[in-house]
């Protein structure tokens, strides 16, 4: 501990005392003048070091924040682009559907086609139904802008919650569902990526508005009495998640964007009896990545 003792008990450079003793022995004052040019140069130099360092160390973040701003601008640009193209795609799809209907006439095949299009979400639908608005609990860390550091994740809506609610909606007889204006199809996936909820590879922002169309008589009651209603009330009472339900006579869901036809090949015969996939009754695939389970 010699080093620490020396450091703590004699913090002053011993050179000062030695120089003072030497000067005293020569008959000069113990302290030199404060006006020597050497001292002036040295102090200016020290000041310069401090000034330069403070300038360089405090403004060092500038390029980084600049890059960050650039990236944000790029993200916003791209998002606008995607929105424009999505709108264009759905407009073209609507046009296509109309032309198809005009060309095909009105036979049994067309009727079946129309039914199937409704089921897979290829056409926009209007009708009675209700909207469910889910939002994070007040002050659950999502309200402040410091992302990642969500201190209290308990009050956040998870992808799992949306999965459960949409599955419960299908189960209680929903004919079409959209979340935040995105139509769910039989191949839609609700996933978690970081702290964002992803529906069909597009991130959603709060609040989550689920629009469900269905028979106005039985459907809302069936949902409220079923597991979905229980789940939502648990979310509300246990985690403080805000849930609003609003029944309406005329709601609309858009057509799903980017529907593709897939062909299923039977495994045992070489004969490839091509048949369109995704015609089964709509049940969203669910991939659960969250761990919380309201009991």
Partner 1 sequence: MIPAIGLSLGIIIGLLLQPAVPVWLQPYLPIAVIAALDAVFGGVRAILDGIFDDKVFVVSFLSNVVVAAFIVFLGDKLGVGSQLSTGVVVVLGVRIFSNVAAIRRHLFDA
- Chain positions contacting partner 1, by CB under 8 A: 7-8, 11-13, 15-17, 19-20, 23, 30-36, 38-57, 60
- Min dist CB 148 to partner 1, Å, is 24
CA torsion, points 81, 86, 91, 96, in degrees to nearest 10? 130
Place of tokens 């529906």: 199
**Shortest Å, Cβ 226 to partner 1:** 59
Residues 13, 207: Cα–Cα separation, whole Å = 65
Q: In the complex with partner 1, which residue's Cβ is closer, 21 or 244? A: 21
Q: What's the longest Cα–Cα distance across the chain?
A: 123
In 39-114 the beta strands, taken as DSSP E runs, fall at none
**Residue 69 to residue 62: CA distance in whole angstroms:** 11
Specify the residue, 10 or 78, whose C-beta has the smaller distance to partner 1. 10
Of the pair 44, 82, the CB lying nearest partner 1 is at 44
Q: Which one, of 35, 225, 208, lies nearest residue 132 by Cα?
A: 208
User: Closest separation between CB of residue 68 and partner 1, Å?
Assistant: 19
Task: Give the nearer residue to partner 1 in terms of CB position, either 16 or 263.
Answer: 16
Angle between helices 62-104 and 108-120 (to 10 degrees): 160
Q: Which is nearer to partner 1, 41 or 99 (CB)?
A: 41
- Please state the φ and ψ torsions of residue 257, each to the nearest 5 degrees: -100, 140
Nearest to 211 by CA among 236, 237, 248: 248
- Shortest separation between residue 57's beta carbon and partner 1, angstroms: 6
């Amino acid at each position: 501990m010699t080093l620490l003792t020396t450091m703590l008990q004699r913090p002053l450079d011993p050179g000062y005392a030695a120089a003072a003793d030497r000067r005293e022995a020569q008959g000069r004052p113990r302290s030199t003048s404060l006006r020597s040019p050497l001292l002036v140069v040295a102090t200016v130099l020290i000041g310069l070091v401090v000034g330069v360092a403070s300038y360089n160390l405090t403004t060092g973040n500038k390029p980084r924040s600049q890059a960050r701003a650039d990236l944000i601008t790029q993200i916003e640009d791209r998002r606008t682009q995607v929105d424009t193209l999505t709108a264009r795609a759905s407009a073209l799809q609507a046009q296509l559907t109309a032309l198809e209907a005009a060309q095909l006439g009105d036979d049994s095949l067309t009727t079946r086609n129309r039914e199937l299009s409704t089921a897979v979400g290829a056409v926009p639908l209007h009708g009675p139904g209700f909207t469910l608005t889910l939002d994070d609990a007040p002050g659950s860390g999502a309200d402040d802008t410091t992302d990642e550091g969500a201190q209290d994740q308990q009050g956040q809506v998870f992808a799992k919650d949306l999965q459960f609610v949409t599955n419960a909606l299908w189960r209680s007889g929903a004919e079409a569902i959209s979340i935040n204006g995105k139509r769910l199809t039989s191949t839609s996936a609700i996933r978690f990526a970081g702290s964002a909820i992803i529906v069909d590879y597009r991130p959603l922002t709060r609040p989550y508005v689920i629009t469900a169309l269905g028979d106005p008589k039985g459907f809302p009651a069936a949902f409220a009495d079923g597991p979905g209603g229980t789940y939502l009330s648990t979310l509300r009472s246990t985690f403080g998640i805000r849930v609003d339900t609003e029944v309406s006579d005329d709601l609309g869901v858009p057509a799903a964007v980017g529907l593709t036809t897939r062909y299923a090949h039977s495994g045992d015969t070489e004969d490839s009896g091509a048949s369109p996939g995704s015609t089964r009754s709509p049940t969203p695939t669910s991939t659960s990545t969250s761990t919380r389970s309201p009991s």
